[in-house]
């Protein structure tokens, strides 16, 4: 996997280069120091993953991510920052970034890069716990969204793309709200075994790994 590292703190970028270069499956193709450099490096090198800071002078990581994804919708961008700012998280999800982790979670950077390269969406532990609360207003507006009439308010095109039916969408929404299998079963008058079967089918259809990724998928694609 070829990556580029972009961070305006030279010490951080060099440290990341040192940590990641010893990984057998990761090659650091280049190091940049600004959002503009990130855009230029992506255009010239077409890396598998961009590992990029958010707060940078000249052009932020979010602005650079937006520019890169506008020109290359297949780009995989993993945002790395010391700031777990709610606004940044929402923006990263809406832009289509494949991940958002904190620099403090240095031990997870290499695994996160591998996951993103494999098409998964990755968020740091602290960030995952906060995602449902960031969309509380939207969730209130869809309070009754397990009912068929309300289901049509979400993205029909996305449902069609992943072959998700209304029952499966209802289960995804409840997962995004933090309900466990027993709670979902009680709410939808199903058995826990049926709920587990539904979730397995949904994960297969969306090619996601677990409930956390399903929650992120819901807020990014279906809300």
Q: Which domain range does residue 113 map to?
A: 2-131
The three state secondary structure string of the chain is CEEEEECCCHHHHHHHHHHHHCCCCCEEEEEECCHHHHHHHHHHHCCCEEEECCCCCCCCHHHHHHHHHHHCCCCCEEEEECCCCHHHHHHHHHHCCCEEEEHHHHHHHHHHHHHHHCCCCEECHHHHHHHHHHCHHHHHHCCCCCCHHHHCCCCHHHHHHHCCCHHHHHHHHHHHCCCCHHHHHHHHCCCHHHHHHHHHHHHHHHCCCCHHHHHHHHHHHHC
pLDDT tens-place string over residues 16-35: 999 999 999 999 999 999 99
For residue 99, pLDDT beyond 60? yes
pLDDT tens-place string over residues 139-182: 443 333 333 333 334 456 778 888 998 899 889 988 877 788 88
Domain end, chosen from 131, 161, 181, is at 131
Domain end, chosen from 131, 164, 185, is at 131
For residue 134, pLDDT beyond 70? no
Question: 20 and 122: one domain?
Answer: yes
Domain end, chosen from 131, 148, 167, is at 131
Question: 178 and 93: one domain?
Answer: no
């Amino acid at each position: 996997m070829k990556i580029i590292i972009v961070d305006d703190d030279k010490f951080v970028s060099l440290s990341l280069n040192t940590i990641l270069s010893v990984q057998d499956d990761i090659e650091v193709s280049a190091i940049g120091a600004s959002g503009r450099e990130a855009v230029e490096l992506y255009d010239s090198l077409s890396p598998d993953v961009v590992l990029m800071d958010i707060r940078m002078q000249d052009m932020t990581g979010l602005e650079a991510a937006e520019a890169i994804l506008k020109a290359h919708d297949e780009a995989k961008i993993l945002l790395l920052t010391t700031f777990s700012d709610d606004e940044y998280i929402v923006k990263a999800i809406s832009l289509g970034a494949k991940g958002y982790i904190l620099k403090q979670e240095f031990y997870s950077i290499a695994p996160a890069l591998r996951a993103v390269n494999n098409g998964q969406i990755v968020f740091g532990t602290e960030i995952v716990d906060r995602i449902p609360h960031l969309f509380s207003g939207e969730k209130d507006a869809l309070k009754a969204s397990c009912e068929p009439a309300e289901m049509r308010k979400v993205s029909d095109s996305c449902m069609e793309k992943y072959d998700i039916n209304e029952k499966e969408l209802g289960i995804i929404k409840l997962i995004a709200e933090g309900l466990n299998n027993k709670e979902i079963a009680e709410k939808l008058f199903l058995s826990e075994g049926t709920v587990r079967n539904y979730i397995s089918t949904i994960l297969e259809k969306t090619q996601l790994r677990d409930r956390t990724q399903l929650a992120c998928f819901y807020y990014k694609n279906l809300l």
